[in-house]
Amino acid sequence: MNLNKASILDVLKEEVTHSVYPLKMGGRIKSEAFNDLILVAEEATRLFRDEELVPKKLLSELHLVAIGINLENEFYKNEELSLISKRIMKCFNLILAGKSVDDKEPSGPRII
């Protein structure tokens, strides 16, 4: 996905409109739209990796989307929605930590 820092918030809001609004208004789970939403959230982690300043609006949008999906899932009890919410919240936390989804997680202690 080819996004930049200036447009990421607008694209994220557009994906929220296509994925979360149908869920809230009619209970429709559009898997493809949610996958696009996750791709945008993951791209945000790449764009803002190691950045000192991150737009508060972007962080707010990611947090509210993750919480909103989680709250809707209390009614639907859908495993897919639970995973989507967790992945978006992970992106939120990675941005706060200055990391990216592409960063490798250590699998154990380093042995020298």
What is the separation, in whole angstroms, between the first and last Cα of the chain? 38
Q: Could you read off the pLDDT of 16-74 as tens digits, one per residue?
A: 999 999 999 988 999 999 999 999 999 999 999 999 999 999 999 999 999 999 999 99
Cα 44 to the center of its chain, rounded Å: 8
Q: Which residues contact 63 (CB under 8 A, 6 or more apart)?
A: 89, 92
Contact 38, 20 (CB under 8 A): no
Q: Could you read off the pLDDT of 67-100 as tens digits, one per residue?
A: 999 999 999 999 999 999 999 999 999 999 999 9
Determine the Cα–Cα distance for residues 74 and 12; give it in Å rounded to an integer: 24
pTM for the whole structure: 0.90
- In one-letter notation, the amino acid at residue 63 is H
Question: In degrees rounded to 5, what are phi and psi of residue 7?
Answer: -105, -10
